[in-house]
Amino acid sequence: MVSDVADSGVAAEELKQFIERIERLEEEKAAIAGDIKEVYGEAKGRGFDTKAIRRLVSMRKKPPEERQEEEAILELYMQALGM
* Average pLDDT estimate for 24-53: 98
Q: What is the pLDDT of residue 2?
A: 56
Q: What is the pLDDT of residue 4?
A: 59
pLDDT > 70: percent of the chain: 90
Q: Give the residue ranges of DSSP H helices in the chain.
A: 2-7, 9-45, 50-60, 64-80
Reported as half-sphere exposure (CB side, CA atoms, 13 A), residue 56 has a value of 7
Residue-wise pLDDT for 55-69, tens only, equals: 999 999 999 999 999
Residue-wise pLDDT for 14-27, tens only, equals: 999 999 999 999 99
Dist CA 61 CA 39 (whole Å): 18
Q: What is the pLDDT of residue 1?
A: 56
Dist CA 74 CA 68 (whole Å): 10
pTM, entire model = 0.69
Residue 32 amino acid letter: I
- When pLDDT is cut at 50, 70 and 90, the band that residue 36 belongs to is very high
